[in-house]
Amino acid sequence: MVFPSYDEMPGTSADQYPIDGLLSSSLNLLNNDYNEDDFQAVQPWGAAPETAMEYAEMLPGPSGTMNNVENGNMEYGEWEPDDYGTGEVDAVFTLPVFQNDEIPPTSKDQVTSGPSRTVVNDPDLANGITLNIDADGDFDIASAPVVPAPQSFEVPALQSTTSKAKKSHNLVIDSLLGQANLLSARGNVPDAIKLLHDIVRQEPRRPEAYFQLAHIYETQGLELKSFEHRLLGCNVDRKTSENDWDATGDIAITLGKHEEAAACFKKAAKVAPTQWIYYEKQIRSCEQTGHVARAMKARLVAAQNVDCRAHGFDFVWLVSMIKCVVDYYNDDENKCINALMVHIQRCIEFNIDCSEQHEILVTQLLRREEYSRAAESIVAICPGFTALDQQGYPSWVITEKSTVSPWPPVRIATIEVSPNFPSLMLCRLVLCFSRMKQVRLASLVYEEMFRRGFDVNTAGLYADVARVFLELEEYEHGEKFTSNLLRYTNFVNDAELFYLHGLFNDKLNNLDIAERQYRHAISLDPNLVNARVCLSQLLQNRNDTTGAIEILADANLDTCSQYPDQRILVRQASLLENTNPEGYIRCLRLLLAPHFHLVLRRQQQTMIVKRHRNCINLPTGLKKILFTIVRSASFTKLVEDMGQSVLEDNRELLLKTTDVYDYTLKLVERLLGEHRVEEALQVLAYASLYPFLDEQTTRNLTNYLFTIGLHAKHFVVAFECVRFLLADADSKLASGKIDQTTFDIRRQRLFLALGFIAVQHQGASIQRFIDRLYTKNLDNLQLKMLVANNALQSGFYKTAVYLFNQVDQAYPNTLAKLSLGVAFIGRACKKTSSDRIPLGVRALAKFTEYMHAREAEGLVQEAYYNVGRMFHGLGFFTQAVYWYERCLGTPDPVVYRNDVPLPSDTYSMKPLAALNYIDIIKKNNPLRARQLRKTFCVM
């Protein structure tokens, strides 16, 4: 069916009834020959990100609640009816929704949701209302200030907010609505429309005006405008019935607007949630538009709310519905849990055993650490658990939807547990109530659990419950819980449980019992490091330092979660320094861990807040890089655990800032001795960000950072350190802390370091910094050489020739001559070059000077190779072969390091020369190429 555009409709004109580009384009969309790009250009869609629909959002609100009120701010016409009612069913469907003639959901590649799309925005109304469809397929009314417009009729505005004034104003509006109805009946349609438009401008939330406009447009044959005004009326009316929404959705289907139809049927299903017909129509419309995700959400809500007995549906129908949803959301665990909860609720309704499904549900919720939902599910679904208040009345009510009200529970005095209630669920309730900080209720549950006796199925949860009591600092409950467990013979060899019992007694100041339990736990498991640490702490507090050190002598402290006493660590470090290098490193790292934790805690402050006046501030760029290193450090987990342990125990750290600095240097020195350069850099990154370092200490650590950054090939850190030290030297010279001679020497060394970094690592930030530095030091030959090298690498050959020539004249050297020759060759090889021959001659001249200088230095092999490479690049292969052969015939250079000669092939150019030689002759002389490869290119 081909729908005419708005301008083609008989009896109307765009001048008489103006309409915006969106509505006219919407009619054209129903034809087959429309251009989607043109439609999107007329009215672009707003960018609304798709949000995941939670399970609670899919449920229709209970009776007497307002579904669409946010933050308690209710607007007229934006909330759902108080009384949903049962509604009437037009037809009874006994077959499942998955029929052969439907379009089945195939994959998630189909359209699942879209941006917020404008449905109605009629400028004729001037009511400040725009009706949209959001990403979840719901109607959304956007309000804007009403633009004043000339009125054809004098419609009074509301002058006061008193009840009397409102009542009088409503009577006036009602009389005007009757007048408009009378004008329409007499055939004066234009005046009726104008009067209704004026009413809408004054009262945009009165649905009667929209319904009258819809009726007028329907009599004129304007089905689209009639539908839009009917849709506006339904949305602003707070009491729209499910039948009205259903009729509006049917009209949308006849107009081909399936997305608007799905939204209407969704509204109808919210008003009458037990009626299947509205869900089926919504699902059909969503699948017609390709919104498979919306269809699946409708299936899930229908499976929960539809009255199966009234419609004649059996349990198999429900299972097929839920299975379809689970198959679609197989990679979304939250959606699968919601579907499983619906399945369990329906099983209870049909008196079908669902213990297996409930076990899966509780396991999934516990794994996701949703303890409140898990406890509510156990209490609501497992029969036999009742909580009573002080008067003996039940403290909660279990609803038909298998929920508990109120939840979390309040005012519980006692509990009653049936003997048939599973012991595993009792233990899980203890864990969940503890995590919910319902310690009183948890104690009542575990007392009942211990009265039953030991259950082997719950053994794995006991230690988890004890750890929860430890986290919540409920030491009395923890001690009572663990002492009850130790009465069972099943735990006589459980070292972890004895350690926890000792720890609870330690917190309660029962030191003798704690020591006895610690020693017993260590005898059961000598590798239980936490028990050793706690026992050493206890002995140290009793001034038994020797015993404390002996307990930790052979323990691997990297795996502990309790922080030892720093005095013990200091003594242990002094003992391990010359006997156990690896143990010494671990001990120092553990000693510094809580101090380094301060860096992680104050990360945001360190980036923006200056240190105190006796400290020097590192630049922001260096801080960012150091924090990147810190976050990826191999011992950051240790730093977090130990720092958190110190915070929880509220312990005082004994090391001062100077001690932190000294132990940092000792640790770095030992790590470098073990060739663990990367780990040494991580330690220095932590120490450099420590917030209490003085000026000289920060400067020393920056020097160490530069050196170790170069060894670790972390050149960005080295560059940021050089930049910081250059700025620091400038500030010290300006403040008079150093003289000009010291400044010149320091700057010369830093320029050398910067040159080394630039050779090893190229980056835009380094090049820009060198350029800025050169503009301030135009006479510095080192910077001039670096800028010339940057120009050569970037292809600015004229600049490179100019700067290299200045360097060569001021300080003749072979590198400048070689670079000049390369720059001349680059200029000669440009397509736009008009003087290639003179430039080539200059290049040959510079290469000749370079070769003679290298011959005088005794490094002819490098010179011959570079000359051959020049001819090779220019395409003069005969000359290139000649110089490559001369390179292969010269002896390798002898280089000394610390007065020791290096192997002869360390700086040999023969393999490179042979490779280039082979590349030239491999086609014409493969035998010679094979011989060269075998002689020079095989290891």
pLDDT digits (tens, 9 = 90+) for 350-405: 888 888 888 888 888 888 888 898 988 888 888 888 888 888 888 888 887 788 88
SS3 state at 729? helix
Whole-number pLDDT of residue 874:
84
| Residue 515: CA count within 13 A, CB half-sphere | 14
Q: Greater confidence, 19 or 361? A: 361
Q: How confident is the model at residue 833 (pLDDT cuts 50, 70, 90)?
A: confident
Whole-number pLDDT of residue 15:
37
Whole-number pLDDT of residue 929:
92
Whole-number pLDDT of residue 125:
67
Give 558's DSSP letter: G
The distance of Cα 937 from the centroid of its chain, to the nearest Å, equals 50
Q: For the ranges 27-41, 109-123, 485-499, 607-621, which has the lowest average pLDDT?
A: 27-41
Whole-number pLDDT of residue 95:
23
Mean pLDDT value across residues 434-447: 87
* Residues above pLDDT 90, as percent of the chain: 15
Q: Above 50 in pLDDT, residue 114?
A: no
Q: How confident is the model at residue 314 (pLDDT cuts 50, 70, 90)?
A: confident
Structural element, H or E, at residue 648: helix 636-649
Q: Above 50 in pLDDT, residue 110?
A: no
Neighbours of 395 (CB within 10 A): 19
Q: Tell me whether strands 896-897 and 900-901 are parallel, antiparallel or unpaired.
A: antiparallel
| Cα–Cα nearest to 143, from 159, 161, 121 | 121
- Residue range 743-785, pLDDT digits in tens: 989 988 999 899 889 888 888 888 899 999 999 888 888 899 9
Q: Tell me whether strands 414-417 and 385-388 are parallel, antiparallel or unpaired.
A: antiparallel
Whole-number pLDDT of residue 124:
65
Q: Greater confidence, 742 or 618? A: 742
Q: Rounded to whole angstroms, how far apart are CA atoms 47 and 380?
A: 42
Q: How confident is the model at residue 895 (pLDDT cuts 50, 70, 90)?
A: confident
- Residue range 803-812, pLDDT digits in tens: 999 999 999 8
Q: How confident is the model at residue 49 (pLDDT cuts 50, 70, 90)?
A: very low
Structure tokens at 328: 């679609």
Q: Rounded to whole angstroms, how far apart are CA atoms 279 and 602?
A: 54
Mean pLDDT value across residues 842-867: 91
Whole-number pLDDT of residue 128:
67
SS3 state at 407? coil
| Cα–Cα nearest to 790, from 812, 814, 761 | 761
- Residue range 661-710, pLDDT digits in tens: 999 999 999 999 889 999 999 999 999 988 888 888 888 899 999 999 99
Q: Above 70 in pLDDT, residue 106?
A: no
- Interior CA angle at 68 toward 67 and 69, to 5°? 100
Structure tokens at 254: 């006849």
Structure tokens at 14: 């765009």
Q: Rounded to whole angstroms, how far apart are CA atoms 460 and 483?
A: 17
Whole-number pLDDT of residue 613:
44
**Long-range CB contact pairs, 549-557, < 8 A, 24+:** 549/575, 551/522, 555/529, 556/527, 556/529, 556/586, 557/529, 557/533, 557/586, 557/587, 557/590
Q: For the ranges 300-314, 773-787, 861-875, which has the lowest average pLDDT?
A: 300-314
**Strand order in 129-133's β-sheet?**
117-120, 129-133, 139-143
Q: Above 90 in pLDDT, residue 867?
A: yes
Whole-number pLDDT of residue 39:
29
| Peptide linkage before 406 cis (omega within 30 of 0) | yes
| Residue 516: CA count within 13 A, CB half-sphere | 5
Whole-number pLDDT of residue 605:
57
The distance of Cα 673 from the centroid of its chain, to the nearest Å, equals 39
The distance of Cα 925 from the centroid of its chain, to the nearest Å, equals 60
| Residue 310: CA count within 13 A, CB half-sphere | 13
| Cα–Cα nearest to 292, from 323, 329, 317, 322 | 329
Whole-number pLDDT of residue 7:
37
Q: Rounded to whole angstroms, how far apart are CA atoms 336 and 206?
A: 42
Whole-number pLDDT of residue 127:
65
**Long-range CB contact pairs, 351-356, < 8 A, 24+:** 352/315, 354/381
Whole-number pLDDT of residue 23:
25
Domain ranges of the chain: 553-712, 858-938
Is the CB of residue 354 less than 8 Å from the CB of residue 343?
yes
Q: How confident is the model at residue 794 (pLDDT cuts 50, 70, 90)?
A: confident
Whole-number pLDDT of residue 868:
93
In this structure, is the dihedral angle defined by the CA atoms of residues 554, 558, 562 and 563, taken in order, positive or negative? positive
Q: Above 50 in pLDDT, residue 650?
A: yes
Mean pLDDT value across residues 784-806: 91
* Residues above pLDDT 70, as percent of the chain: 83
Whole-number pLDDT of residue 616:
58
**Mean pLDDT score across all residues of the chain:** 78
Which of 109-118, 270-279, 574-583 holds the top average pLDDT?
Answer: 270-279
Q: For the ranges 131-135, 191-195, 459-463, 564-568, which has the lowest average pLDDT?
A: 459-463
SS3 state at 568? helix
Mean pLDDT value across residues 132-142: 79
Mean pLDDT value across residues 473-500: 86
Chain position carrying tokens 């060759």: 825
Q: For the ranges 37-41, 223-227, 521-525, 532-536, which has the lowest average pLDDT?
A: 37-41
Q: Greater confidence, 918 or 412? A: 918
Structural element, H or E, at residue 900: strand 900-901
Whole-number pLDDT of residue 204:
80
* Helices 781-794 & 764-776 angle (0-180, nearest 10): 140
Whole-number pLDDT of residue 858:
83
Residue at 110: amino acid letter: Q
Q: Above 90 in pLDDT, residue 118?
A: no
Whole-number pLDDT of residue 848:
92
Q: For the ranges 148-162, 639-653, 793-807, which has the lowest average pLDDT?
A: 148-162
| Residue 236: CA count within 13 A, CB half-sphere | 24
Mean pLDDT value across residues 575-598: 87
Is the CB of residue 766 less than 8 Å from the CB of residue 757?
yes
